[in-house]
Chain A
Amino acid sequence: MITIRKSQERGHFDHGWLNTHHTFSFGGYSDPAHMNFRALRVLNDDRVAPGRGFGAHGHRDMEIFTYVLEGGLAHNDSMGERHVLRPNMIQAMSAGNGVIHSEFNASQTEPVHLLQVWITPAVEDVPPRYQQFAYDPAEKQGRLRLLVGPDLNPPEPAAFIHQDARAYASVLAPGKTIEQPIARGRYAWVQCAQGNIILNGHALAEGDGAAISQERALEIAGDGATGGEFLLVDLA
């Protein structure tokens, strides 16, 4: 079964400095029908104005990863981590028993566009942890590039999270098709980040998502004039 979550049906706020869409209930957007999908608790699509951002705030017991599509996001936290996250980099933070961080657009002139994903951890009270690394963008062309997962020795460099969930990124040129089997009892979420894709016959445009359950396989193709970029989250 594939249930489409259309872009325009998401919670939406334009605060001027922040234009944000919430796939699931978050902050001032609350909809009991859209609280989470399995362990996937938050999927925010944020555009942050130059020089603006989220001031220092706390987190506890959440696996948070950020995928930048355009621009740079500056991160500071109570562990002393200070970095700028850009496209073709993965950042994952396990909030564990407590962390404080801030996130700002690193540019004074250019906007930043990002997806932020929160996954409920399988274990609580663990020490907080921060991971960030870059990868070659060719690694997500025409294939699924693992970004985060629970494996201590992943098949390719990926951030560790405390949950039986794996997130992948992919960029598909028009007509390029990939197939991904879904193990029995597993679920998945596909989020079209940019452009257009076709998921098992369903057209997804930028901002559209799809909840997938009781399917044996996914066939995903780049569509439209430029193809599409998407995240796939495999969930228990």
Chain B
Amino acid sequence: MNVLVVFYSRRGETEKLALAAGVGAIQARANIRLRRLTDLADAETIRRDPVWSENLERMKKDYIAPREVDGQWANVLILAAPADCMAEMEGYLEGSRATLHGKSAAVLGGFADLAARAGLTVVPGSATDRDRAVAYGRLAASGK
């Protein structure tokens, strides 16, 4: 099972949830790829938020942005984004509709409707803490 974890995070909190779900996928013996969506905000806005800037510096090293081949490679997606900044995820789902259509996805962040609109089958469940995210990722990667 190939699991693509796509997330958007500014201050590292959603990143932690995405990583926990990714660990759950590994526990289910899946292969995983981790991808972070690129910020739509301009550099000045990011610079004014030191926590965002600091985390972004690190995350830019740790993750590349999702590519079309990643979507093609994946059997299952794990999607995570903060509820109050959905534009990056919305843009990704809209732009990847053709590649992702028909695949299943675990959704962390209350945007199941967006995922469904992009043609993804949403795995029932949710998680707002690490342990639940691990369990949700494991469930999604088990293909059940």
A3 to chain B, nearest CB (A): 33
Task: List 19 A-B residue pairs with CB atoms under 8 Å apart, sorted by A's residue number.
Answer: A51-B61, A55-B34, A55-B61, A55-B62, A56-B34, A56-B63, A58-B22, A58-B25, A58-B26, A59-B26, A76-B62, A78-B19, A78-B22, A98-B23, A99-B23, A99-B26, A100-B19, A100-B22, A100-B34
User: How many residues of B are counted as interface, with CB atoms below 8 angstroms from the partner's CB atoms?
Assistant: 17
In the complex, A76 Cα to B59 Cα: how many Å?
11
User: How many residues of A are counted as interface, with CB atoms below 8 angstroms from the partner's CB atoms?
Assistant: 16
Contacts of B29 in A (CB 8 A): 60
Most chain B CB within 10 A, of A57, A58, A99, is at A58
20 new A-B contacts at CB < 8 Å, known A55-B61, A60-B29: A51-B61, A55-B34, A55-B62, A55-B63, A55-B64, A56-B19, A56-B63, A57-B32, A58-B26, A76-B62, A78-B20, A78-B22, A97-B26, A97-B27, A98-B23, A98-B25, A98-B27, A100-B19, A100-B26, A104-B61
- Proximity bits, A43-77, B CB within 8 Å = 1, else 0: 00000000101011111100000000000000010
* Interface SS of chain B: helix
8 nearest CB pairs, A to B? A98-B26, A78-B19, A98-B23, A102-B62, A56-B62, A56-B34, A98-B27, A58-B26
B7-39 interface with A by 8 A CB criterion: 19-20, 22-27, 29, 31-32, 34
Q: Given the known A-B contacts A98-B24, A100-B23, are A76 and B58 also in contact in the complex, defined by CB atoms under 8 Å?
A: yes
A124 to chain B, nearest CB (A): 10
Contacts of B20 in A (CB 8 A): 78
In the complex, A104 Cα to B58 Cα: how many Å?
10
> How many pairs, one residue from A and one from B, have CB atoms within 8 Å of each other in the complex?
48
What is the interface of chain B, defined by CB distance below 8 A to chain A?
A: 19-20, 22-27, 29, 31-32, 34, 58, 61-64
A227 to chain B, nearest CB (A): 37
In the complex, A132 Cα to B74 Cα: how many Å?
34
Contacts of B61 in A (CB 8 A): 51, 53, 55, 102, 104
B5 to chain A, nearest CB (A): 9
Are B26 and A60 interface neighbours, CB within 8 A? yes
A18 to chain B, nearest CB (A): 14
In the complex, A26 Cα to B27 Cα: how many Å?
22
Closest to A95 in B: B26
B75 to chain A, nearest CB (A): 15
Most chain B CB within 10 A, of A56, A58, A104, is at A56
In the complex, A104 Cα to B26 Cα: how many Å?
22
Q: Given the known A-B contacts A78-B19, A97-B27, are A58 and B32 also in contact in the complex, defined by CB atoms under 8 Å?
A: yes
Contacts of A98 in B (CB 8 A): 23-27
